[in-house]
Structure formats: structure tokens, C-alpha cells
């Protein structure tokens, strides 16, 4: 079977989990080789959450499925694809259901969406994953509120264009300048990849981590600011 590989990590997961991009890639390549599947490509979303499908990588992979370039999608684990019950329902209807005919193969979860039983198991697993994400969010919010009640800074990375100063958010002028440059370049009709090349070539201020700009970072900025 011809399959498109899809791998994903979010910013927090890169540091905390063992499911890095290279690890996922190695596992799905080994799985494909073991079961005689042909990987027509491996597409990644680096630094994107699974809360929605508004990710460049997964949209590219799904478009390839629609064009008939592969018979299914191969992931290491289901939550690499989505943690939303509604999003998974839409994926099943459009791509992985009985009528659509595309396969969804998960190395870790052993899912076969070509059967009714497989789709039922899929929905159960996604429901559990969504509950887990929401429960973690509730616990985190409660902990932050408790810190705020004690007069402590809530913590976490300041939103784009801001920075922490004396336990309060303040404007981050340099970051706002970079955002304005990116928006202006986008308005000229440049693609995201062209924008990345332009700001790196012209030496626009580096990222918070001191590295060059990457496609996924610029894509996130455009998603936030429109």
C-alpha cells in the first residue's frame, strides 16, 4: 500500500516527550518496511498543536490523499494527527471512512479504519485523548490562578510581541517590529518560504532562542496576526 507519513511535535513536546520528529520518522519507516508499505513521503509539522487541523503539514498530506497520490496516511500515534473528536469525525467522513476509502494507519494504536470496528476504536481513542488534553488544561489553569492569588507571576512564555517585566506583561518592541516586517512582506504576495529566506538574508532580528527563522515559526505568526 502506498502511504504518506505524517509526524508532528509541539513546542512543549520537543523538550519533554520522547516522541521527537526523528524518532517518529524512524518508527514509521520501520513499520512501512516491515509490512511492505511504500512511503511516498514523510511530512512534518514542527511546533504545532493538535488542537486543530490548521497546520501546513497536515493540510499538505491531506491534499496528497485527495489527489490520489497515496492510499492512506501513516502516523506513529493517533494524537500526532489530532486530539479533537470533531476534527477526527470530519477526517473519517472525508478521508478515512468506508465511503472515502483511504486508510489511516497508526503504528502504536494498531488502527484499521477500513472496518466499522476500527472506526469505533478510533473514536474511543480520540475521545480519551481529548479528555486528557482538557483535563491537563483545567489543572494548569487552576495552578496558575492559585499563583496569581498569591501575587506570583503566572509564568509561561509571554505571548508574541510581549515580555515579562516585574510580574506583568510589557510590550516587546523588537518582536513587534519583526511581526510588522513579516506582515508587510506577506502583503506583497510573498509565500511564507520566501518570507523566511528574505528575513534571514536581511538579518532581521533572530528568534527568542537566538536561531534563524524557520517556516513553521513564520506560519504561526501569520496564523496569530492574520
Contact 76, 24 (CB under 8 A): yes
d(CA 80, CA 49): 9
User: Across the chain, which distance is largest between two alpha carbons, in Å?
Assistant: 59
Contact 221, 182 (CB under 8 A): yes
The residues annotated with a catalytic role in the active site are 10
The size of the chain, in residues, is: 226
Determine the straight-line distance between the first and last CA of the chain, rounded to whole angstroms: 39
Contact 171, 162 (CB under 8 A): yes
Per-residue b/e over 140-170, b at no fewer than 16 CB within 10 Å?
eeeeeeeeeeeeeeeeeeeebbebeeeeeee
Contact 54, 61 (CB under 8 A): no
Amino acid at each position: 500500500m502506498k502511504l504518506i507519513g505524517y509526524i508532528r511535535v509541539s513546542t512543549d513536546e520537543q523538550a519533554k516527550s520522547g516522541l521527537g520528529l526523528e524518532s517518529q520518522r524512524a518508527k514509521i519507516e520501520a513499520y512501512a518496511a516491515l509490512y511492505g508499505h511504500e512511503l511516498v513521503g514523510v511530512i512534518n509539522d514542527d511546533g504545532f498543536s493538535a488542537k486543530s487541523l490548521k497546520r501546513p503539514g497536515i493540510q499538505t498530506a491531506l491534499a496528497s490523499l485527495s489527489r490520489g497520490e497515496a492510499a492512506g496516511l501513516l502516523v506513529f500515534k493517533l494524537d500526532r494527527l489530532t486530539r479533537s473528536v470533531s476534527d477526527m469525525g470530519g477526517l473519517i467522513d472525508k478521508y478515512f471512512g468506508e465511503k472515502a476509502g483511504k486508510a489511516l494507519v497508526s503504528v502504536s494504536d494498531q488502527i484499521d479504519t477500513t472496518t466499522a470496528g476500527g472506526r469505533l476504536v478510533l473514536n474511543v481513542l480520540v475521545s480519551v485523548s481529548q479528555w486528557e488534553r482538557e483535563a491537563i488544561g483545567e489543572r494548569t489553569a487552576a495552578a496558575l490562578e492559585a499563583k496569581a492569588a498569591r501575587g506570583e507571576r503566572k509564568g509561561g512564555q509571554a505571548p508574541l510581541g510581549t515580555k515579562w517585566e516585574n510580574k506583568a506583561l510589557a510590550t516587546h518592541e523588537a518582536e513587534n517590529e519583526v511581526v510588522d516586517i513579516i506582515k508587510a512582506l506577506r502583503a506583497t504576495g510573498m509565500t511564507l518560504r520566501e518570507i523566511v529566506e528574505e528575513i534571514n538574508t536581511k538579518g532581521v532580528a533572530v528568534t527568542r532562542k537566538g536561531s534563524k527563522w524557520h517556516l513553521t515559526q513564520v506560519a504561526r505568526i501569520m496564523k496569530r496576526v492574520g
